[in-house]
Structure 1
Amino acid sequence: MEKNMFGFSLTERTIEIRPPMTTSFNDVSMVHGREAVKEELLNRLLNESSQEPAISIVSIVGMGGIGKTTLARLVFNIDKVKTHFDNKIWVCVSEPFDEIRISKAILESLGDDASKLAGLETILQHISQYLDRKKFFLVLDDVWTEDSKNWEQIKDCLKCGSQGSRNLVTTRKENASKTIGATSMIMLGTLSKNESWSLFRQIAFSGDADEKLEDIGRKIVAKCKGLPLSIKTLGSLLRFKTNSGEWQSVLHSEMWEIEEVERRIFPPLLVSYYDLPSTLKKCFSYCAIFPKNHEIEKDELIKLWMAQSYLKDERNKDMELIGEEYFENLAMRSFFQDFKKNKYDGSIESCKMHDMVHDFAQFLTKKECFIVEVDNYNESQLKSSLKNAQQSMIIVRAERDSFPTCICNENKLRSLLVKSQDPRSQLTQAKLFDNSSLRALQFISLRNIQEIPREIKKMIHLRYLDLSYNENLKELPKELCDLYNLQTLNIADCYKLTKLPQEMGKLINLRHLIINPFIIEYMPKGNEELTCLRTLENFVLSSSSHGGKACSIGSLKNLTNLRCLGFSGLGNVGDVDEVKRANLRNKTNLLSLILDFGNGSSERDEIIVEALEPPPNLVKLCLENYGGKTIWPNWIVSLTQLKELRLFRCYNCEYLSPLGKLSSLESLFIGMVYSVKKVEKEFLGIESDATARSSIVFPKLKNLEFNYMYEWKEWDDITLKGDELVTTIMPSLHYLNISYAPYLKKLPNYILQSPKLKQLEIEHCPILRPRYEKGIGEDWHKISHIPDVTFFS
């Protein structure tokens, strides 16, 4: 009524986001004005003295957003640092300080599995064994604690290292640097005027700077007061704007006058934030639910956005694809960083938020997002803090017997994410399932969950349910199938859960069903009703009828929206015509297909593979436990978009198919193909040397791996006159890994001469290693030009 009285109208502001001119998410640090301090830091890390203490600790101190972590990363990855130390270890300390978590992180960086270790003393003993008399370089990033007692046991453990070992600490607090016992300190200042402009210009302009925009840009940079994070944030915002009016709007924004937050950081973030459409604002602020330094899984985040109704299906575009666009948008504006990418296709799998960006997100949500550590809380204080909370993450770091009752009684909560970091956790949560307001519920790694209460049916708005890694979960109630709004059900790694409810067909809005292969005994009937499914990671094909309860592969006929599909137990299929009724070829949205036959012993597998026939736009194909003698169905040449191919446990295959004919292939993994003794030129898809001259073989292949090829002895080379071979076979190859090939004698020249080969790994190959080992191998000269060569014994 008041809106109408004042004549207000609601409009949705939209902006056009252009993709950057260079490759997205390059994630290469843009470091300006730090050359002198970098050399000073290297000098303190690499120069040794007999008078130095047993543990030499160097600290970098400066305010948030000044570039401490960037500088530490810069020196951490320099080649002369890599060669100077026996071990390099990176640990983000952050808040709250947790000795066990930090110690486990150190141990895992050394290559050990700390997940099953309990007790600080046990973990520290393992660290001492690894570092005994070794020269190590340990970075402790983002230290806050000023209590010296927190460090005593860890410091004593690290004394086992040899003289010349170094610890590098980054912190905002000078007192924290003194507490940890820093022997030298570098106070990191702001960038100069020229350095600030250089950084801003590199980000904001894709080419030459427009004179009008440059004048405004210099004034904006001056307001950033030399802080790299502020400069990077605004540069990322303005590179998508092309007229001076938009730049003037940023320059004259009132956000620069804000006083109730950190004036040097939040104003630029606010300017960039208020430039976002309303939907993106919600998506960004939701990220406040994660703790600082949390590794955010991209796909999980998009599904959580979906659960909150932040994403809507558009014409010809799924919510998931819209979520991908939103994620890219936020990443291009520097709200995300530290991207981890898939080694095969380069896609982003996870990211983190800078701690100042996280503080900003918390500021925006005004305590609506709440993070609590269950092992260290006061019930009354927690109840007060949760008063306005809509999203909450609970982290269990130590064993407890009960769930905070005040959380169970909060009817405003829309998201509740519970993650255990202690394998002994024994939380109970029965009352929680009375909460009908939740849109997203996650219980991960909680030992005491054996079944889900029938009361879950009350959660009528639930869209996201993640029960993964609950190793004692045995059963899902049929009442779960009343949650008709459910979009995501994740029950991965629930190894005692062998059956799904028979009423699964009622989940008509389910889009993602994530389960492990060969754990669920069969897929219940009604599967054909799940027409919204985008992800069906393991469609289980049973060897028995289970009393008519199981559905057949033909029930997939109407699931036309599938994008990711996996089969388990394809060897159990009895009727090939039933395979054809699945009609995979017409599932034009299908991008990823996993074919796991289970027993891998039948030549009949070839007939089944031929009958499956996926659509030609398939991007990823995996073939596992396959019993056929050949891996070349007639339809494979039609896969003109195929980028990744994985062949694993194809036991009866004696020859590799002409995979070089797959012109779009970027990653090829071949493992446990035991019967192959020789890789011949037919593998390249060429018939003669003459053909090789006139074509490019594997033109886009970047990653090539051969693992566990126990009978492999020879890899045919091809001899051509002249140098044409170097540019026609695998011209894009970047990474080659050969593992557990004990009888392989040598590598072909056409591989070693691939012009872009940057990384070669040879693991457990007793004949290859002495042949190519640096300085002593007879063929070392053939690989000496490759920048990164690693041997593992």
Structure 2
Amino acid sequence: MSGLFASLSVGRAWEKLSSFLRVSSSAPSSSSASPEDDLEDLRKLERTMRRIRATLHDAEEHWNIREESAKLRLKELKDLAYDMEDVVDEYEYEVNRCEVLALDRSASIPNTGKRKHQEVEDCNLMDTGVVAVPHDLVLRARKITERFNEIVHYSEHLSLSENDGERRFAPDIRSLRHTSSVIFEKSILGRDQDKDKIIDKLLSVEGGNVGNPVSVMAIVGMGGLGKTTLAQLVYNNPRLKQCFEKYAWVCVSEHFDVNTITRNTITSLTSVQCAYTELADLQMKLANEIIKQPLLLSKSDIPTNLRNIGKCIVQKCKGLPLAIKTLGSMLRYETDKRRWEDVLENDLWDFEQPRNEVLPALELSYKNMPVYLRRCFISMCLYPKAYQFEQHKLLNMWKLLDLLRCDGNDDEDAIGRQYLNELIQRSMLQIGLSRTLYCLHDLIHDLTCFLAGEEFYRLDGDPLTEIPENIRYMSIHKYITAADISVFPHSLRAIIVVREFGYVNQTMFPEALFSKTGLEIMNQTIVPEALFSNCKKLRFLNLENSRSLQMVLPNYMGNLKLLRHLSFGGEPITMSLQLDPLAVHIKNLILSGIGQLVSLRTISYIYISGSHCGFSTRELRNINKVRELRIGGLSNIRHVKYAHEAQLQRKKYLQSLKLSFSVLKEKCPCGLQPETVRIPQDQLLESLRPHHNLRELKIISYDSSIYPAWLGDPSFYMLTTIHLIGGRSKHLPVLRGLPSLKYFHVHGMDSVENIGSEIFRQFPGDKYFPSLTNLEFRSMLEWSEWSGVDAGEHPCLNELSILFCEKLRSLPLVS
């Protein structure tokens, strides 16, 4: 229906292309630079992208387009927007690939003057981004521009004019929502208790007089719930008219204008049209009218054989009076049972009357949302009705789809929680079965599906399923077989596998969807190649439910070069480097060739296997765009050089890093026992030094009492959070001076007995932590002494938590 997601895609691509063109125009001409003709094609593409982005934005603001020609034009523009993103992203991939090759080339040169010269050249390559544009991308950009010009030509020559006859315009929903104080219904049921509560509050008595402790009372709720009707009942109640000498009803439209509202209020109070135009005069007139005076502002019989169906229809409306009233008026003269069953079994929006009467009430709430919130709201159509959202799953989906408006300094989870609260406050999202779960009202869910249009699709297991060709975002539910699906469509950008909350045994992909490997003893399954061979445009892959299925994604996963986010719901991912998937035993997942996915930004969790068939961290070497990374099984690394090959120090976009040294019991399928060689953990951690742009660090099950020099180095000036969890280390690291550190949490380090001043400073005179606000120690079973804290060390500390540290005798005394 709208162009929200297409405009987001073309907007991201436009920003990338504009940045490249700015750099290209200022870069010196060289043999590696794109020919001027190619650059001109890209400049035309950039101008076209800007126009399409603006058009899609306008279409969203005026989304109730009725003309078929306009709908067709909007669809064609959205298709162009996605094609543009493909061209730009493929060029970005080419730039990333050249950067990786340049880094590898400089690393292979001995440490001489020639190597330094090569590093300078490579640095210039990455800073300028001047990489020749592949010829096929130039041709595609040219064709996109030609298609856009064709659409413009068509719309100019085939659109209707005023001389073609009288045109009928669909009323804007805002014009349908003007209200008055008049109650048109003869009887209104079910609101007496709510009405009496509001009146009692308005008439609360102090000393026998109306005390007016309430100056403003708001009635909030989702559209169609009956807020206006309740306000009308209160406004027309005789009890209020005895206590308020003045009362008025004012309708505030979406276009909020103080002068108009004030003038309408005066007219309602005096029953005389107000002629004032200046705000000061209007306010003075209003004050004179209300000063020192209390003011208040503010079915047919059903045939017996249809009664049970009617009750089910009422349940379907989930307590929404406007929907019940609309469907009742639609069916009151209908005696055909099949017609009633159609209403029960189909979505509300499949019928014209509810679409014209109920939709505007709900859509008004949607229209009042900011654009960024609309996208998050629509994305929830990927989940089924009555789905209970866990907060972290919902936020994870928004992050994967790049729906959170964050700059480099923002916390995505905090932004996501803010969006969640906004949706709840707007009554578009409800608290679910518990305080930690959320759900959509059924009609609100219908609204998300209606607004999402053909770009979103839920694959729910219908045996006759044929996936539409032009969908962009798809979710998979329940049990489906490979025979139900030919191939995933080439247009797909996101795949989300959904598991119903509480179904612990439901597999990530239904087991029947996969072909057996023949190695029944290993209980392995392989994803059919046909499912992904056509998905080269995939950006987001979220397989939430890897708990109960051992799965292999073979080498062709490496073909998904545009993939940016890869999530597996926190379950370990055992990686294999270019090995035959049929010969490798896995814990949960095998990813061959993942190192080719140089555009990846999110990898949920990687587990380093200790088996002979396992993998070191080398495949992470070239994934330099990643922003969040969790690595487990680090104690299985058999040589320090393998840890160094991860090249974490290259990953300047990495914001969150979790390093776990805990290992799992494994059995190698080749019959050999896993190697028991153990490299000192301090050497491994030293080799895993991240880039100094890191913001959050978690270290789990670290047993060494020696910490690397980089941990606590002041060069990590952006590091705000450190978690140390578990392990047998007897000491905490020397953190010295981290200027931005706000949160320092230590959990379950049972071998630590004493904590002294050395944790925060190494030498007398070392700087303290000027930003530390939250310090927490939990489950430190042997910790008995804490000393060496002086006054003024942590001027911003406002929360200190010490939990389950039973041997701690005293706290440091600070004067």
Greater percentage in strand: 1
Question: Could you tell me the TM-score, scaled by structure 1's length?
Answer: 0.47
- Give the TM-score, by structure 2 length: 0.46
In proportion to residue count, which structure has more helix?
Answer: 2
